[in-house]
Structure 1
């Protein structure tokens, strides 16, 4: 089951995230809950933008925080043309069945402006947990 949670806009970049609980890879009896998230980054501006790096702040239901940062996403530093989007899927593992993620991408415009595109908070929730 997929959950469409958030859309955020920073400068000229719009970010949307959809999540999915991966039941077949999760082991609840071992406190291992696996989620995938698919991010779409849409360039609403008038010049190319490049994704340089990422930062994630992941909080599980026990308030345990994981911070993830690094160059690019899924091994790429994509350049996104005006009116185009870039979509990728990645994942995370938590010790609790629910959690929250938020973060930002550090982007650079073709004219050299560097900015952070905020990824608003979104929930990681098993489908049966939603009523």
Structure 2
């Protein structure tokens, strides 16, 4: 029996905004179908930047929000499937996103953004 492995490209962006870095690792990740892939995000902004947003952009599509996290607090997956994604924010500066059970349509660019705390709620803008 021949077993075929399929690689999926999950890439991250390194963004510098207002002289403060938001860093994602790994920059490029290859994995196999049905496996999981984890991406980490960190920032060097001040402690008021407690909110973290994870976005995905598939080839040829616009960017969509996957999950919102805040420290402390529970992730808000909105319309995304919690069975597909797992997000953690274990400190103000650090968070991670895991994409579970990788399939072909999981390929794309994954983007992490951080923002300041606003009344304990996520911004709709």
TM bin (shorter chain)? 0.3 to 0.5
Structure number having the greater helix percentage: 1
TM-score when scaled to structure 2? 0.48
TM-score (norm 1): 0.46
More strand by share: 1
